[in-house]
Amino acid sequence: MPDHARLEQYLWENRERFYRIAYSYVRNEADALDIVSEAVVKALQKGDRLQDKAAMATWCYRILTNTAVDYLRKHKRVVYMEDVQQADPGRPDRYHDADLLEALGRLPDNLRMVLVLHYLEEMTIRETASVLGQNENTVKSRLYRALELLRKDLADRSVTPEGGTVRG
């Protein structure tokens, strides 16, 4: 299969993962779709620059995260948690727990992205580091810090292990 066709196929097969990552940055369906569209166009335009075909996934994720960060810089808008919504209620989604989603939204962007990529998108530490342009020790440190903040936030809000909030 020619490289361009393989890239197109990869982008198509991973469109939902790309959307979830973009959504985790902006927490808005329309903006996430815009980011994914822009990232796909960039990847297709720059596909001939991809030297190591085995690194296609990391390369595509890097384009996506850079596009999302650029979008946030350009728009510098505040995202309120009331704006957080399910991407598509008809499709199973790993971002379903409202308390967890809100707690994730309260994390700083750099910590939230490490958690999203490693745990929700099931990337290895090495893959996460590569996508974010960080070394592995930085990713491990941020992962630990993010988990501690998340644990504290959920405990402070009296969230039970089943995900429900304890009402007093």
29 three-state secondary structure: helix
Taking the C-alpha atoms of residue 60 and residue 35, their distance in angstroms, rounded to an integer, is 13
* Predicted pLDDT of residue 1: 44
Taking the C-alpha atoms of residue 25 and residue 79, their distance in angstroms, rounded to an integer, is 10
* Predicted pLDDT of residue 74: 84
113 burial level (CB within 10 Å; 0-12, 13-18, 19+):
buried
Q: What structural domains and CATH numbers belong to the chain?
A: 1-92 (1.10.1740.10), 97-158 (1.10.10.10)
Indicate the range of 27-36, 96-105, 120-129, 159-168 predicted with least confidence. 159-168
Q: Are 90 and 62 in contact (CB under 8 A)?
A: no
Residues 66-71: what's their mean pLDDT? 87
149 three-state secondary structure: helix
pLDDT digits (tens, 9 = 90+) for 83-138: 444 444 444 444 446 677 777 778 888 888 898 888 878 889 998 998 888 999 99
Q: Residues with Cβ < 8 Å from 127, sequence gap 6 or more? A: 57, 58, 61, 117
Residues 149-155: what's their mean pLDDT? 87
pLDDT category, 5, cuts 50, 70, 90?
confident
- Best CA proximity match to 59, nearest among 17, 24, 13, 11: 11
Q: Are 31 and 77 in contact (CB under 8 A)?
A: no
